[in-house]
Amino acid sequence: MSTEKQRVLEWLFSFLLGFNLFFFCLLYLTLNKQNINIYLINKALANTALLLIVVVLFIGPLSRIYNWPDILVAFRKEIGITAFLFGMAHTILSLLPQYYSLRFYFSKFNPSFYSAVIAIIILTILFVLSFEKIISNLPRKLWWQIQYMGVRTAFIFIIIHFLLKNISKWQNWLTAKDTLPDLNLLIFLLCIFLIIFRITEYLNRKLSIAVFTVGSLILLGSYIFLLLY
């Protein structure tokens, strides 16, 4: 396959993955007794951006312990850029005057908002550094280190944003249990699984195989429990 066709395939796969995740999130949110509106679309954009970053962070360690994810390694850059685009769309919608005013964000100490700002700034820098002209002018090792640390740092700040913004909603749901589990809660559990898996893979690659297998089953069981709770 030519390089140009490979690039087209990588972008097509990344966009299809992004839009499929977006429509899945939107469908789940509507099933959760919510009407489609700008607020719901914005939530789906945020959820999609995080899920795409999770996919990027899963590909590396999975490709080192299994053969089947190897083909996805070449797609990480495009999936990461797609995550940025969804995240930027979420940021723009969140700053629309009819949605929330800037005064709302800055009127009081708001660590959830600040962590989101830091995350989108990091993702914007990584996006700018993804252009071939910039890549060619940087030492390859330096570019890789910036991408490596950048996406992980952004992920941490997004998790902080998700946790601070949603923990009270999760507590209320556990008390009321009148709807499906909050989608952010399900995604947060997936993120915790990812963090444990990556730490284990870094410390002991052989042990990470068992952690991924057992952890996947526990995560699936947790989802079933929450859905039936």
What is the C-alpha to C-alpha distance for residues 68 and 105, in angstroms, rounded to an integer? 44
Q: Would you list the DSSP string of 26-38?
A: HHHHHHTT---SH
Q: How confident is the model at residue 35 (pLDDT cuts 50, 70, 90)?
A: confident
What mean pLDDT is predicted for residues 114-137?
Answer: 90
Half-sphere exposure of 189 (CA within 13 A, CB side): 18
Two tokens at 94?
Answer: 């969140």
Task: Give the start-to-end residue ranges of the domains of the chain.
Answer: 3-228
Q: What is the pLDDT of residue 38?
A: 86
Q: Does 127 score more than 70 pLDDT?
A: yes
Lowest mean pLDDT among 15-19, 132-136, 174-178: 174-178
What mean pLDDT is predicted for residues 96-111?
Answer: 68
